[in-house]
Amino acid sequence: MRLALFDLDHTLIPLDSDHAWGEFTVKLGWRDARSFSEANDGFYADYKAGTLDIHRYVRFAIEAVREHGQASALKAREGFMEQVIAPVMGEPARALLRRHQSAGDTVVIVTATNEFVTRPIARAFGVDELIAIELERDARGEPTGAIHGTPSFREGKIARVEQWLAARGLDWSHVQHSTFYSDSINDLSLLEKVHEPVATNPDARLRAIALERGWRTLNLFE
């Protein structure tokens, strides 16, 4: 197996899809604009600083879905995809994914954003394999606000990739070559794990590490 792993937010798309979904629910009138945006921005600042409490954030981020129900949220998500996500899915990112797929690589998006937000984005990019934060659901299939299993966040991304491999009867020893594209210092552990780390639209701290270690850097948004 040749494995091509991709972070999503600020790597394949030039925004944070979780943060953008929250702002979209404000525009729908599902949240008070001022209080929600202040909290949303605070969590995003924590993420960039590497101090995010992922469990608190997921409970906050999925609250609108819980309150309005899955059916209404799915309909709203269609509008989110059309109005917010589709316009920023650039050709350089699409071409990079196609290049790996054409080479026969197994392409997987590995993101710390939850499955509700990211599943349609992966599909729109033509990627079937998605490792995202899984939501705990009640007997009716509605999200509870908790995370199911290991969150694909920071070191948890390695654990989730290993679970994904194990489900296929594989482990890292079966991977002939692995590449991981990411913008974020939060993904340093997985970048260090793969054969070929690629700092993609990197934040300042990751750019410095990439320069120091001689990692390839890539900008998909120019």
Q: Which residues are catalytic?
A: 7, 9
How far apart, in whole angstroms, are the C-alpha atoms of residue 8 and residue 10? 6
Query: Which residue from 85, 59, 77, 57 is spatially nearest to 154, judged by alpha carbons?
Result: 57
Residues 6+ apart with CB under 8 A from 69: 142
Query: Which residue from 114, 201, 164 is spatially nearest to 1, judged by alpha carbons?
Result: 164
Residue 191 is inside which H or E element, if any? Answer: helix 188-193
How far apart, in whole angstroms, are the C-alpha atoms of residue 215 and residue 209? 8
Query: Which residue from 122, 130, 129 is spatially nearest to 94, judged by alpha carbons?
Result: 122
How far apart, in whole angstroms, are the C-alpha atoms of residue 172 and residue 165? 8
How far apart, in whole angstroms, are the C-alpha atoms of residue 182 and residue 119? 18
In angstroms, how far is the first alpha carbon of the chain from the final one?
A: 31
